[in-house]
Amino acid sequence: MVGQLLREVQRIKSEGDYNSGEALIENYGVKVDQKLHVKVLDRNKKFPFAPYSGFVNPVVVPNLDSKGKIISINIKQPKTFAEQMLEYSKDFSFLPLEN
């Protein structure tokens, strides 16, 4: 079933089949079982994180002794996806601004 659905999505994208794409969204992406929706919302109340936080990666920060040996690890969670991306751009941007 999933393979067929993925094939259909790829076909729609490849061919630019707007009508089939619209039908796919209207049939599967818009209609929600309200009882199931309430269950999901109730379960989700237990988690204090923003819905997008699954895309925000924790930062592992080692605590070192005087010899540089790791004695413990702290985990820092960026507050937002934007904060994470700005840190990544600062720490991992190795390309020069001008070539």
Residue-averaged pLDDT of the chain: 87
Give CB contacts under 8 A, 24+ apart, made by 21-24: none
pLDDT of residue 81: 86
Greater pLDDT, 51 or 4: 4
The structure's pTM equals 0.40
pLDDT for 53:
66
75-99 residue pLDDT tens: 988 888 899 999 988 888 877 777 6
- Nearest residue to 81 (alpha-carbon basis) of 58, 56, 60, 47: 56
Interval 26-30 mean pLDDT: 85
Q: Residues 43, 59, 93, 65: what is their CA dihedral angle, to the nearest 10 degrees?
A: 180
